Amino acid sequence: MRTTTPNSPHIRGRWRHVGSAAAATAALLAAGLGTAAHATAATATTTVAHQADTKAVAAQVAKAHVRYEKAGCGTTPKKGFAACDALRVTGGTTAFMERQAALKGVTPKTLKPDAASASPTGYGPSDLQSAYGLTSAAASDGSGETVAIVDAYDDPNAATDLATYRSHYGLSACTTANGCFTKVSQTGSTTSLPAADSGWAGEESLDLDMVSAICPNCHILLVEAKSASDANLGTAVNEAVKLGAKFVSNSYGGSESSSDTSYDTSYYKHAGVAITASAGDEGYGAEYPAGSRYVTAVGGTALKTSSNSRGWTESVWKTSSTEGTGSGCSAYDAKPTWQTDTGCTKRMISDVSAVADPATGVSVYDSYGADGTGWNTYGGTSASSPIIASVYALAGTPGSGDYPAQYPYAAAGSSALNDVTSGSNGSCSTSYFCTARSGYDGPTGWGTPEGTDAFTG
């Protein structure tokens, strides 16, 4: 989870899931891998019931199962460095694609590995706004607010890719020329930028597009650290705050260390600023800076449409024992006063959550480098962190002396949050650390946004 130098940006882990058709179908149903998995897995189950050819069933299951890979910035890092929490879909049929096909009454298409798509294959702004009760707020709120994105290395195509995404979805232009979009280095320079990196460029596109999707009226500040070291990323956070951002998203993390408490005060302790951090993508286990008591730790869910009154349903994102949202009890950070769960004496991850499952992933436009094939679907808690930072922005400027991580706790158990009560992200000795339940749990915190009321003081 902490990354190496940019000399090896394209080394990435791949997941290929193989097994009997029946086992694969059962796994898909248990994992809740989006509408695509459910619809096709149900077809496969029916076929099995009629004793159809096993190979045909396996083909249907393979078609439904989304294949994905870590972004080039997500390789296992060395000590003192961080990795991004982004996952790029390379094959299969996403929940969005399945739903679109159903609406048109046609057979859903299947993504081929590394093939460019001419149109989005993941959830777009209207989907995400609908899922989180933000349609009205997204249309009317956010003007005058700046959401900062902190990442490592430069994305040379950040501005043009952002323009493509926003134009496709009919969002207002957000450019350097009109003052909406600004890209700087960790020192604040607009001209002396870090070295470019394809893997981190995909992460940056994901982050920028999620801010656009949730808070289209917000200004966006992209701060690029010169490397993925903890110190440089932390310096970039400080620069974002120095430049006036009241909302800062961090879609990266690494294993905890005894240095974390000093990083807290050096980089993440900013009263009056909502700072979010991804909980991680490797299943149960704590990572930093999500473990900082001064940030809002954001877990990940699988999001799919439903016939319920909300129109959507969510469960804990887990694909396997090593693939899913992070959570856990910090080994080092003290428990903030507003966190009252009794099983963990220190800081507990997460606080809230949002969509992260690649099978129910989000639409992203990225054109730079090896990963920049145009329209892609991304998942990982790298998606959920900027979503939550943008919800904070829609809710308005935090109180000057507040640490906004406490805001959702004041709304705990209310209709302002969608309580996620099913799924787990691994095995743990204290059940709620890794298993969803009614009320607070580690993988999803107090739940996902239903409007903005849980994100204001």
Q: What is the pLDDT along the chain (457 residues), one digit of tens a residue?
A: 333 333 333 333 333 333 333 333 434 433 334 344 444 444 444 444 444 455 444 444 444 578 999 999 998 888 999 999 999 999 999 999 999 999 999 998 888 776 678 899 999 999 999 999 999 999 999 999 999 999 999 999 999 999 999 999 999 999 999 999 999 999 999 999 999 999 999 999 999 999 999 999 999 999 999 999 999 999 999 999 999 999 999 999 999 999 999 999 999 999 999 999 999 999 999 999 999 999 999 999 999 999 999 999 999 999 988 899 999 999 999 999 999 999 999 999 999 999 999 999 999 999 999 888 899 999 999 999 999 999 999 999 999 999 999 999 999 999 999 999 999 999 999 999 999 999 999 999 999 999 999 999 9
**Which CA distances in Å does 339 have to 128, 296, 429, 448?**
28, 12, 20, 17
Residue 406 to residue 251: CA distance in whole angstroms: 20
For 153, list phi and psi in degrees, rounded to 5: 70, 175
Task: Give the per-residue pLDDT at 321.
Answer: 85
For 25, list phi and psi in degrees, rounded to 5: -60, -45
Beta strands in 42-153 (DSSP E): 67-70, 83-84, 87-91, 146-152
Task: Give the per-residue pLDDT at 114.
Answer: 65
Coil/strand/helix, residue 99: helix
Which of 32, 64, 15 is closest to 423 using CA atoms?
32
Q: How many CB atoms lie within 10 A of CB 162?
A: 27
Per the CB < 8 A criterion, the answer to whether 436 and 315 are in contact is yes
Which of 120, 6, 155, 116 is closest to 72 using CA atoms?
6
Task: Give the per-residue pLDDT at 89.
Answer: 94
Q: What is the dihedral of CA 97, 98, 104, 107, to 10 degrees?
A: 100
Residue 96 to residue 423: CA distance in whole angstroms: 21
Per the CB < 8 A criterion, the answer to whether 425 and 324 are in contact is yes
Coil/strand/helix, residue 420: coil
